[in-house]
Chains A and B, each alone.
Chain A
């Protein structure tokens, strides 16, 4: 449903916009639990000292140069996510979102969710 309305370029209503929809949640879960651990892992796999202690870290990736390639593309994905993420914050109202991030409270017109 979120996907369908996303593809139709429908703007969410103001109430909807204060909670993350399915696509946003999936994206955040993917970044936090897949991309970040993977970028750390491929980074460590390029360390000659670390893989001397844990050779499996690089062996299952197919060697140090494969780890380097994977690390590069995962870091690109993270940069892409960052740009889109900040872009979405910008379009959703930069000041109110920043205030919400820092204070933990939504806009004054918005009733607090628990």
Chain B
């Protein structure tokens, strides 16, 4: 017992106990206010949690930057090839008249929407930047219906916490929390720069999440599920992206 005095030992003990208790309280609060992302485990989990929690406290209601019409990129960078499946080819041959978006899960009235039905809602537009984690970006006018309106139409349960959305491409799905799902700039986009949304940009229907990096804006959307628990989807990490090493919350 050369260097350590009893006083030091007691102080250190109390500080450690207070630290553990503080972490416990912080964890409770974070769970209660929905500040813990589904991919909170693993090596990067703590960083993901800190990012998500601080972004949610700072930016729950903030609006993505919108641009003037002269800032629109020409041409908008189309990075996608048409899905190779027979089903997509058949739908494309029919000019997507048979395209359906089904919504189920924690909703009072599960429904299925055609593109025309989605277009019967008042059209909204936004000129925002799509930025990819690969480094490129473009500014475009996105036309569509705010997801919040559709969620209102199917009457989402108040306990709902996440909206999971699926592409027609297998194993391509993602999810957002209700803060982003109900955000006024989160669109089911069917138009780009005053025209139909091209297949190369995710047409005929793409979820547009402008406050997050591009991969959250999943292309060729056909199905959505409203839920309060992401554990039952895939590996339980909230989307296909964390399974491939990307963050679930991509507001960065």
Contact = CB atoms under 8 A, between A and B. Distances in A.
Interface in B132-152: 135, 137
Contact of B58 (A46, A50, A58, A68): A50
A81 B62 CA distance: 37
Given A52-B64, A52-B211, A55-B65, A46 B252 contact: yes
Interface size class of A (residues with CB under 8 A): 10 to 19
Most chain B CB neighbours (cut-off 10 Å) among A47, A55, A58, A64? A47
B179 to A, nearest CB: 10
Contacts of B211: 48-49, 52
A48 B252 contact: yes
A1 interface: no
A48 B62 contact: no
A49 B65 contact: no
B48 to A, nearest CB: 14
Contacts of A64: 129, 131, 137
Main secondary structure of the interface of A (DSSP, over half): helix
A91 to B, nearest CB: 34
Nearest to A47: B252
Nearest to B64: A52
Given A64-B129, A64-B137, A68-B135, A48 B58 contact: no
Given A53-B58, A53-B59, A48 B135 contact: no
Nearest to B52: A49
Contacts of B212: 48-49
B171 to A, nearest CB: 25
A47 B212 CA distance: 8
Contact of B251 (A50, A55, A58, A65): A50
Contact of A50 (B59, B63, B137, B210): B59
Interface in A17-61: 46-53, 55, 58
A12 B63 CA distance: 57
B160 interface: no
Given A48-B211, A48-B212, A65 B137 contact: yes
Nearest to A44: B252
Interface of A: 46-53, 55, 58, 64-65, 68
Given A49-B251, A53-B59, 5 more contacts: A49-B211, A52-B63, A52-B65, A55-B65, A58-B65
Kindly list the 9 A-B residue pairs having the minimum CB-CB distance in the complex, ordered from nearest: A49-B251, A47-B252, A53-B62, A52-B62, A53-B59, A52-B64, A49-B211, A49-B59, A49-B55
